[in-house]
Amino acid sequence: QVQLVESGGGLVQAGGSLRLSCATSRSSFSPNYMAWNRQAPGKQRELVALITSAGNTNYADSVKGRFTISRDNAKNTVYLQMNSLKPEDTAVYYCNGMFGGRTYWGQGTQLTVSS
C-alpha cells in the first residue's frame, strides 16, 4: 500500500504562482510514473502533467509553458510548479502514481485562482 499526500493548495490571484507537493509513503521511490490531475466543479477529472520513471514529462495543452512537474527522489516527493495562474485553473488537484503495476491516488488539494 502506498499513500500519497498532497499539500500546497490555497487561494492565489490570477497571474500568481504556487507549488504543489505530493509526498509518498513508499520508502523506495521508484514509480512507473507520477502525475497531477485536476477536477473542476461540474467537470471530469483531467490529466495535467505526468513524469515517467525515465524523467520524461507530458503536459495538458492548457498548462504547457506555465506548469512544471518535477520530482525529488531523495524526498520521495513530486512537485507541480504553477506559474501565470488563471481562474480556469481553479480545481481540486490530485496526485497519482503507479507503483508495481498498481495505481494510487492522493486525497486532493484545492486551488482557487481569483480574478
The distance between the two most distant Cα atoms of the chain, rounded to a whole number of Å, is 42
The residue among 42, 104, 54, 109 whose CA lies nearest residue 82 is 109
pLDDT at position 27, please? 64
CA distance 103 to 90: 25
pLDDT at position 29, please? 64
Q: Are 18 and 10 in contact (CB under 8 A)?
A: yes
Kindly give the confidence (pLDDT) of every residue in the chain, 115 residues in length, as a single tens digit, with 9 standing for 90 and above: 889 999 999 999 999 999 999 999 876 667 889 999 999 999 999 999 999 999 999 999 999 999 999 999 889 999 999 999 999 999 999 999 998 889 999 999 999 999 9
Chain centroid to CA 23: 11
Cβ neighbourhood burial of 9 (10 Å; 0-12, 13-18, 19+): middle
pLDDT at position 30, please? 77
Q: What is the DSSP string of 25-78?
A: --SS---SEEEEEEE-TTS--EEEEEEETT--EEE-TTTTTTEEEEEEGGGTEE
Chain centroid to CA 108: 9
